[in-house]
Amino acid sequence: MNAQPQTRSYYRVEYPLAERPHFLMSDRILQVLDCSEVGFRYDVSGYPPPKVGERIAGRIRFRRGRQFPVEGRIVRVREREVVVMLDEVRIPLATIYDEQRYLRSRYPMRF
């Protein structure tokens, strides 16, 4: 989590290791490194990385129980990190804000 202001169009939540959501895809459970309502970045360690342009689908399961179906396209693969831009079904903005509030209350020194 980074103290610098974000210059992106969408707010992105960056997760500490202990709070990372999971991306459930087929039989894989992968760690989400950060997410916004329009995309997310996950760690593909232990699996072959997908190719840029591939379509993927699965669910994001947040640590406090919420789950959302996600579908999108791989837009970047760098070492073990994969970036996905979501299609029309997105993570609700209210969930992104709720995640941010929770992390700020739990980890005030990280923001």
CB 23 within 8 A of CB 63: no
- Domain span holding position 77: 13-106
In whole angstroms, give the CA distance from residue 30 to residue 17.
Answer: 12
Q: pLDDT by residue (tens digit) across 53-101? A: 999 999 999 999 999 999 999 999 999 999 999 998 789 999 999 999 9
What does pTM read for this prediction? Answer: 0.87
Residue 4 lies inside a defined structural domain of this protein: no
Q: Could you tell me the pLDDT band of residue 16, with boundaries at 50, 70 and 90?
A: very high
Residue 1 lies inside a defined structural domain of this protein: no
Residue 2 lies inside a defined structural domain of this protein: no
For residue 6, CA distances in Å to 3, 9, 74 come to 9, 9, 22
For residue 14, CA distances in Å to 26, 43, 76, 111 come to 24, 13, 17, 10
Residue 111 lies inside a defined structural domain of this protein: no
Question: What CATH number does the domain containing 37 carry?
Answer: 2.40.10.220
Residue 7 lies inside a defined structural domain of this protein: no
In the predicted model, is pLDDT for residue 2 greater than 60? no
Residue 49 lies inside a defined structural domain of this protein: yes
Residue 8 lies inside a defined structural domain of this protein: no
Residue 5 lies inside a defined structural domain of this protein: no
The count of domains in the chain is 1
